[in-house]
């Protein structure tokens, strides 16, 4: 899709705020949630999904990789991300990254600043869409605020949401890859140019 056909950003991802009266909450996924979250991904996405043991390994590597959206204690959505280490970002850009079974050396461990954040899967049915606002706030903490985000949406709704949040397609070895340059990086590059 050519860039000129893209609509203006409707919602800048880094500027999304949680409503004054939130209807949902965000929390880290636990190992007890894996079966339910894996089933949600399988039902909602038209493509292949990572098996349960891979999800467990990804959570073991970095507890922030999979977040669930809850309402009244029940899980209603999720945002699965992969906090990428430099080798993971390189593999993603070269088309050598396997999102269904990522190499553990490609992932940043809990507490490490990721080189980038790969949006692995977002399940946000109508009532859980507010969860995207919570994820935006979660990713604005110092450890994540300069890690650019990448996504490879596999559904029409996912592509529309990705574009609406300010992600733009890039030319990379991974086909269909979108990137969101974090506001902190745009400010930094503007200041360096001055």
CATH number of 3-193: 3.40.630.30
Residues 74 and 68: their CA atoms lie apart, in Å, by 10
**Looking at residues 98-121, what average pLDDT do you find?**
95
Q: What's the pLDDT at 156?
A: 85
26-47 pLDDT, tens digit per residue, is 999 999 998 888 888 877 776 6
Q: What's the pLDDT at 50?
A: 83
| Residue 5 pLDDT greater than 70, yes or no | no
Domains of the chain, by residue range, sit at 3-193
Rounded to the nearest 5 degrees, what angle is found at the Cα of 40, between the Cα atoms of 38 and 153?
Answer: 95
pTM tops 0.85, yes or no:
yes
In sequence order, which ranges of 6-155 are alpha helices (DSSP H)? 34-44, 52-61, 86-94, 130-138
């Amino acid at each position: 899709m050519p860039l000129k056909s893209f609509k203006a950003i409707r919602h800048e991802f880094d500027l999304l705020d949680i409503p004054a009266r939130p209807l949902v909450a965000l929390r880290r996924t636990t190992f007890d949630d894996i079966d339910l979250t894996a089933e949600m991904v399988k039902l909602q996405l038209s493509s292949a999904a990572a098996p349960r043991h891979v999800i467990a390994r990804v959570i073991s590597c970095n507890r922030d990789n999979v977040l669930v959206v809850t309402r009244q204690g029940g899980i209603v959505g999720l945002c699965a991300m992969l906090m990428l280490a430099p080798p993971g970002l390189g593999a993603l850009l070269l088309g050598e990254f396997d999102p269904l079974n990522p190499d553990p050396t490609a992932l940043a461990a809990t507490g490490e600043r990721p080189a980038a954040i790969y949006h692995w899967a977002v399940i946000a049915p109508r009532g859980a869409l507010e969860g995207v606002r919570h994820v935006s706030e979660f990713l604005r903490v110092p450890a994540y605020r300069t890690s650019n985000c990448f996504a490879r949406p596999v559904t029409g709704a996912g592509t529309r949401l990705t574009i609406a949040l300010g992600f733009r397609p890039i030319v990379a070895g991974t086909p269909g890859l979108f990137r969101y340059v974090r506001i902190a990086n745009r400010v930094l590059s503007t200041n360096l140019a001055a």
